[in-house]
Amino acid sequence: MPRVAYVNGRYVQHISATVHIEDRGFQFADGVYEVVSIRKQRLIDLEMHLDRLNRSLLELQVPWPTSRRVFRFILKEVIQRNRVANGSVYIQITRGVANRDFAYSKNLKPSIIIYTRKTRQDTLETANVGYKVISKPDIRWKRCDIKTVSLLPAVMAKQAAVEAGAVEAWLVNKQGMVTEGTSSNAWIVTLNDELITRHVDNEILSGVTRNSVLKLAQKLNLVFVERAFSLNEAIHAKEAFCTSSTALVKPVIEIDNKKIGKGKVGPITKILIENYLSYMDTHHEAY
């Protein structure tokens, strides 16, 4: 069965899906996106993703291409047509098509793209594998709180990580503080068993999985603090991990070739992995 994508009002074969050459998302990265995880035929934290998408659109002054109700219907239709039980759905909305000019008309029709990807379902065994990360300077713009498709600095850092045999790059600002990963939020556990992740500001994206993990930490009575931490503090932490809709809770056992803690997945990380997988299986709407 061929893959199906939704592009500007039409369900088309994924292999032949196209956008206009003067779409502002293609020419100016003038658009936003979301990635929603699918597990056991459930959309994970869909409403939080749509709320964040709404915020990103408002910040760029791009109108919704449909009502939210219709949008939800299209989203689920794409998933069902592709028969995705486990994986993710990608959503991209751009300002639309116009003659190439930095300035834009306020009455452009937004472009919308939705497609899916199948992946294997994470288990406790696969999720408890430790990974390596490297650090790279954070050279991104000053509005990282908007989930835009302008991702070149993150692409460059991620490629550097892959070439170094790592799974992710943690970005470090001029003050030596870790902001986030190229496609994930960064976390550490201190020697006093405090769970630390950076506070939300314009330097990071407010991750949906990040927010869900914070709620789980509170439910589990774990001590956590939302604050900045330095690369040096991360290297000397007891545990480390990162979170995202696709990575879920991913343990980090090495940063810049230096072992974190004992160089193994730590107990607090394991607790959060177990509880987050359970949360995904029991708290989300089926489609």
pLDDT tens across 254-285, in order? 999 999 999 999 999 999 999 999 999 886 76
- Which CA distances in Å does 140 have to 78, 188, 199? 32, 22, 18
- Does position 215 have pLDDT exceeding 90, yes or no? yes
Calpha distance 14→25 (Å, rounded):
18
**Per-residue pLDDT at 283:** 65
Domain chopping of the chain, boundaries? 4-118, 124-282
Q: How many angstroms from the chain centroid is the CA of residue 253?
A: 21
Please state, rounded to an integer, the average pLDDT across all residues of the chain.
Answer: 96
User: Is the model more confident about 271 or about 125?
Assistant: 271
**Residue 219 is inside which H or E element, if any?**
helix 208-219
Does the active-site annotation cover 76?
Answer: no
For residue 253, pLDDT beyond 90: yes
Look up tokens 């990635």; give the residue.
35
CATH of region 4-118: 3.30.470.10
pLDDT digits (tens, 9 = 90+) for 11-65: 999 999 999 999 999 999 999 999 999 999 999 999 999 999 999 999 999 999 9
SS3 8: coil
| 4-118 and 124-282 in the same fold | no
CB of 104 closer than 8 Å to CB of 111: no
Per-residue confidence (pLDDT) for residue 236, from 0 to 100: 98
Q: What's the CATH fold of domain 124-282?
A: D-amino Acid Aminotransferase; Chain A, domain 2 (3.20.10)
Ranges assigned E (strand) in 138-184: 168-172, 177-181
> Per-residue pLDDT for 287 more than 90?
no
Active-site residue identified among 147, 158, 238, 250: 147
112-124 pLDDT tens trace: 999 999 998 888 8
pLDDT tens-place string over residues 148-194: 999 999 999 999 999 999 999 999 999 999 999 999 999 999 999 99
